[in-house]
A and B are shown apart, each in its own frame.
Chain A
């Protein structure tokens, strides 16, 4: 059974940093690209960042480029999101999500999501 379990959320002051983790199990983690998607309170879904299975390619939304860093440790089956220079508008539930299909397929949706971890940026 595929499981994605996020951790690391919490309350942080503006300008601060936080690192989120997503522990994966039930599939060959290194074969799949992974993403982070966030949802501000009462708002819609926003794709944040993605990383290839090997970790060699990373992608970011313009809203977080230069502040957030996605990474993965395939030996630990864990995905990370390092968030620096946090702003109030980064307040959201952060979900990790798995691509449905491995490469070479592209344009694949997310078939599994974690339960989410809440990040609150406030003084």
Chain B
């Protein structure tokens, strides 16, 4: 299963609403997770089951979608949100695949 994220990079300002899209090459129900990764650090789980917020993750992060099309939305960007975001399909457990990543930069 291939995952395609768009855009590959994005420039935005603090306070902006941002949406990142992840498209699967075949239907994966709601078996999708989102991670945030900052330079030199391990990825951090944000959302799983397409829309369930991981414990401790701020509520400005939200996920939606099912089947082949998914979105990650950050409602009001904070300085600490500038990072790279990856989607991961969980449908073919445990042979997971990740999207290519979306780098979110400060405008």
**Hey, which bits of chain A sit against chain B, CB under 8 A?**
33, 35, 44-47, 50, 59, 61, 95, 99-100, 106-111, 113-116
- Which bucket holds chain B's interface residue count? 20 to 34
Contact of A44 among B33, B45, B94, B100 (CB under 8 A): B100
Contact of B93 among A108, A113, A116 (CB under 8 A): A108
Residues of A within 8 A of B35 (CB): 45
Closest Cβ–Cβ distance, residue B60 to chain A (whole Å): 20
Determine if A114 and B42 form an interchain contact, defined as CB atoms under 8 angstroms apart.
yes
Closest Cβ–Cβ distance, residue B32 to chain A (whole Å): 9
Determine if B45 and A110 form an interchain contact, defined as CB atoms under 8 angstroms apart.
yes
Contact of B95 among A33, A44, A59 (CB under 8 A): A59
In the complex, A50→B86 CA distance in Å?
19
Chain B's interface: helix, strand, loop or mixed, by majority? loop
Closest Cβ–Cβ distance, residue A110 to chain B (whole Å): 6
Determine if B94 and A100 form an interchain contact, defined as CB atoms under 8 angstroms apart.
no
Residues of A within 8 A of B88 (CB): 45, 109
Contacts A/B (CB < 8 Å), 16 sampled: A35-B96, A44-B99, A44-B100, A45-B43, A47-B96, A59-B94, A59-B95, A61-B95, A99-B94, A107-B90, A109-B88, A109-B90, A111-B45, A113-B42, A113-B43, A114-B42
Residues of A within 8 A of B94 (CB): 33, 35, 47, 50, 59, 99
- Report if B61 contacts A (CB, 8 A): no
Residues of A within 8 A of B86 (CB): 44-45
- Report if B48 contacts A (CB, 8 A): yes
Given contacts A50-B94, A50-B95, 11 further A-B pairs with CB under 8 A are A44-B98, A44-B101, A45-B37, A45-B86, A46-B98, A59-B94, A107-B90, A107-B93, A110-B45, A115-B41, A116-B42
